[in-house]
């Protein structure tokens, strides 16, 4: 039953940037431990033309901060299934869909008055990607995954001074990573940040007029590190 579950989901770990080194070390330890206990059979790369790759990710971030006269709680949950097809040896072409929910609560005092704000965000994201696997040694591969994505975010505010709105985001990125195969089907993958270009426009929910827009180019190799499991049919 556990193996059937792995066919459909990656379990990804997303932590804050200050814990990146801890996460990388844990990932390396996990790789080494699983490698020792993996079944010793002749390894044949599964990334062959015509095979199907099913994966996904579940990201959960919870932060609870308490300061004098100011308490805040943040949580964010994102589920991202994806499917890929090996179009040639060591090259996968795929598509991904993400849905997410984020919530930020603030409770603080101002001029002897208690103020409570609750802001929420609903996220919907779709995209296509290509992932190139580069053999290093035996079961270890480097991988590079360029992709194109569209994302819609819907924002809701409890504070009447802010209008509910939504945003459209267009992104092109390249994500490097490493993959270690336990056997001829199952692999542990670690993504190591991304280089991305984003264009985003924010619109008022009622008038549909653009309230702000802009673009960014970012190299992020710290806060977007994740672990996952991938299965090839």
Residue spans of the domains in the chain: they are 2-232
Q: What is the pLDDT of residues 190-222, one digit of tens each?
A: 888 889 999 999 888 777 788 889 999 988 876
Contact in structure between 103 and 118 (CB atoms under 8 Å): yes
- How many CA within 13 A on the CB side of residue 204? 8
Q: Is the pLDDT of residue 160 over 90?
A: no
Q: How far apart are CA 100 and CA 113, in angstroms?
A: 33
pLDDT in tens, 63-74: 777 776 677 888
CATH class given for the domain over 2-232: mainly beta
Does the pLDDT value for residue 22 go beyond 90? no
List the Cα angle 70/73/75 in 5-degree steps.
Answer: 160
Asked if 179 and 191 touch (Cβ cutoff 8 Å), the reply is no
Q: Is the dihedral of CA 92, 77, 10, 22 positive or negative?
A: positive
Q: How far apart are CA 145 and CA 68, in angstroms?
A: 45
Which of 68-77, 91-100, 152-161, 214-223 is most confident? 91-100
Instruction: Kindly tell me if the per-residue pLDDT of 227 is higher than 90.
Output: no
Closest CA to 94 of 216, 202, 189, 232: 232
Question: Over the stretch 37-47, which tens digit does the pLDDT of each residue have?
Answer: 444 557 778 89
Task: Tell me which of 125-129, 149-153, 170-174, 206-210 is least confident.
Answer: 206-210
- Among 72-76, 85-89, 222-226, which range has the highest average pLDDT? 85-89
DSSP string, 178-224: EEEESSSSEEEEEEEEEEEEEEEEEEETTT--EEEEEEEEEEEEEEE
When mean pLDDT is compared across 3-17, 122-136, 169-183, the lowest value belongs to 3-17
pLDDT confidence tier of residue 26, bands split at 50, 70 and 90: low
Q: What is the pLDDT of residue 1?
A: 36
The residue among 37 and 141 whose pLDDT is bigger is: 141
Task: Give the per-residue pLDDT at 11.
Answer: 42
């Amino acid at each position: 039953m556990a193996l059937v579950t792995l066919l459909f989901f990656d379990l990804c770990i997303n932590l804050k940037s200050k814990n990146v080194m801890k996460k990388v070390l844990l990932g390396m330890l996990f790789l080494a431990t699983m490698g020792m206990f993996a079944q010793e059979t002749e390894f044949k790369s599964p990334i062959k033309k015509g095979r199907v790759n099913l994966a996904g990710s579940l990201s959960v971030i919870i932060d609870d901060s308490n300061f004098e006269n100011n308490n805040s709680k943040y949580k964010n949950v994102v589920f991202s299934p994806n499917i890929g097809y090996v179009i040639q040896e060591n090259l996968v072409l795929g598509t991904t869909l993400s849905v997410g929910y984020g919530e930020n609560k603030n409770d603080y005092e101002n001029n002897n008055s208690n103020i409570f704000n609750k802001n929420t965000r609903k996220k919907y994201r779709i995209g296509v990607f290509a992932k190139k696997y580069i053999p290093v040694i035996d079961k270890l591969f480097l991988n590079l995954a360029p992709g194109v994505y569209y994302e819609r975010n819907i924002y809701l505010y409890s504070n009447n001074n802010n209008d509910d709105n939504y945003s459209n985001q267009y992104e092109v990125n390249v994500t490097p990573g490493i993959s270690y195969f336990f056997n001829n089907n199952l692999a542990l993958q670690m993504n190591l940040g991304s280089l991305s270009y984003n264009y985003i426009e924010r619109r008022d929910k009622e008038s549909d007029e653009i309230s702000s827009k802009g673009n960014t180019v970012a190299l992020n190799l710290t806060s977007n590190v994740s672990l996952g499991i991938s299965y090839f049919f």
